Amino acid sequence: MLDRLYPLSEDAFNEKILPLILEETTPLGGRPPKISHYRCFCAMLKMLSCSMPWRDCPREYGPWHTIYTRFKRWSENGLFWKILTTLKQKKCLEFQIVFMDSTTVKLHRHGSGAPKKKRPTKCG
C-alpha cells in the first residue's frame, strides 16, 4: 500500500528534489510546515496522476487544503515545473503531457445541452 502512496523513496527525494525546493524557497519565519516536502510532493504526484479532485486526496498525506495550497504556490512561482524539467534532463523521470479540448474529443450532437429558450418578442 505504501508503494502506491509513496512512489519515490525518501532518500531519492532528499538527494534529487529537496535541493531544488530549498534553492527556490526562502524561510520567511513562522512555524514549520505541518507536512514534509516529501509527503506533499508524493501527494501532488498522486493527485495529478489520477486527476482526482484535491478534496479526495488520501488522508495518509495530510490535509488536502495544505497540499493544494503548496502545489498552487509552487506552480505559480514555477518551482513545480522546474522540478519536473530538471528530473527529465537528468533522465530520472519520464512524463507525457496530453492536452484535450473539443477539437480532439468528439461529442454527440445532443451532448451540448438543451437549446436555449428564446424570449418572445413584444409586438407593437
Q: Is residue 23 part of a domain?
A: yes
Report pLDDT digits (tens) over 99-114. 666 665 666 666 666 6
118 vs 14, which has greater pLDDT? 14
Q: Is residue 46 part of a domain?
A: yes
Q: What is the pLDDT of residue 6?
A: 84
> Could you tell me what percent of the chain has a pLDDT over 70?
72
Q: Is residue 69 part of a domain?
A: yes
C-alpha span between 66 and 55 (Å, rounded): 11
Q: What is the pLDDT of residue 112?
A: 65
Q: Is residue 94 part of a domain?
A: no
For 49, the domain range is 2-89
pLDDT of 1 over the 60 cut: no
Q: Is residue 110 part of a domain?
A: no
b/e map of 49-83 (b: 16 or more CB within 10 Å)?
A: eeeeeeeebeeebbebebbbebbeebeeeebbeeb
Report pLDDT digits (tens) over 32-56. 888 999 999 999 988 888 878 899 9
For 74-85, give the secondary structure using H, E and C: HHHCCHHHHHHH
C-alpha span between 12 and 16 (Å, rounded): 6
Q: Quote the number of domains for the chain.
A: 1
